[in-house]
Amino acid sequence: MSRRVVSYPYLILAFFLFCWINLPQTASDSARSFTVASFSPFWRWSEKTDRNKNEAAEIARLRLENQNLRSQVEAVYEWLLSDTKVSDQVELLKQVTEQKTKAKEAYWRSFFQRRTQDLRFSLEAQLTSFPAQVIYRDPSSWSSSLWIKGGEEDNEAIGKVVIGKNSPVLSGGALIGVIDYVGKSQSRVRLITDSGLAPAVRAVRGASQNRELAQQLQAFLQRIEKREDLFSSQNDKERLVAALKGVQEKIGTHWEDGYLAKGEVHGSSAPFWRSRMPMLQGVGFNFDYADEEGSHAKAGSVPILKEGDLLVTSGLDGVFPAGLLVGIVAWMGPVKEGAYAYELKARPCANNLNDLQTLFVLPPVNGE
């Protein structure tokens, strides 16, 4: 009679896997946070060494140092860009305040009052924002989440909660996600390209749309003016620069915005190898009832949605403050039979979603 052999190691492994799968969400997040904190210093290093594994050790070391220097330069550039955007908003706040004092109609007084409050909140949030470096990003969940350096210890050092659950996260002034887990020294960001995150947005046409385009043009001009190698002659370069500056003058900002269709956008949670050109899906866009930003009469005089419209957060979801840049409408489908809302595709305003380095965390709206 044969004796039955009990494989204790397999039983132990099965018991461990059962316990791991049934861990509470808080314990699971803490374990992931600990793992990221342990291995994040080797993440970017491993990316570089994998690409250069056949090169000499000294060349690899020099390239790594060069990458670190570039990251520092990019961080400084992000700081300067943030300061520039804050200055722009200070100037915009002055203009809106002046228009509010000049306005005579009750609607426009109320309109400018809301704009002033939104701008003041945005300024306060940006002035208290926390700059954080990306420390880990899993290729299998590339478009869903990433980890940043910063957490509860930084809140204690600052003396207030800046990195909290539901804290909006920006890159270059545009929304890229929200904090969904806060650890001691690292936190997880849920990206807007994740299918489970759906910020409430609104189409804006007018001043805000022009300002966003003007900022893109200005950034492009600053880069193109330093690239002599892209032109066959100095005359060609001067003609292009003059043409772009002419466009800047034509889209000069004015004080009025048109606030039109409202809806939600979400991503597709694509892995790294399918996320080279991230797009956002928009659903439920309509203008089916009047609100304080517009009316049926105003909406009826112009299309409620057009390609090229700027999408900004509306604040209706209770997570994101109103006015954060989200995307540009790239395509919109016709209203289907029996439906009352548009579907659309939008290009994110943050044009570096696949190469994020330095992010800015804003305090959560709820103040937790």
**pLDDT tens digit sequence for 282-318:** 999 988 666 666 654 454 567 888 999 999 999 889 9
* Spatial distance between the Cα atoms of 308 and 323, rounded to a whole number of angstroms: 17
Q: What is the CATH number of domain 57-194+355-361?
A: 2.40.10.340
Tens of pLDDT, residue by residue over 241-253, are: 888 888 877 776 5
List the chain domain ranges: 57-194+355-361
Q: Which residues is 130 bridged to in the sheet? A: 361
| Residue 138 · residue 189 · CB < 8 Å | no
Structure tokens at 284: 């439920």
Positions of the chain with pLDDT under 70: 1-8, 10, 16-18, 20-23, 25-32, 34-127, 252-257, 273-275, 288-301, 367-368
* 332 phi, psi to nearest 5 deg: -140, 135
Phi/psi of residue 181, each to 5°? Answer: -155, 135
CB-CB neighbours of 214 under 10 Å = 17
Whether 88 and 325 have beta carbons less than 8 Å apart is answered as no
pTM of the full structure: 0.67
Phi, psi for 48 (deg, rounded to 5): -70, -45
Q: Which residues lie closer than 8 Å to 129 by C-beta, 6 or more apart?
A: 82, 162, 170, 360, 361, 362, 363
Question: What's the number of CA atoms in the CB half-sphere (13 Å) around residue 178?
Answer: 21
321 touches 92 (CB < 8 A): no
pLDDT at 203: 92
Q: State the pLDDT at residue 296.
A: 46
- Residue 268 near residue 281 (C-beta atoms within 8 A): yes
- 342/332 Cα distance (integer angstroms): 7
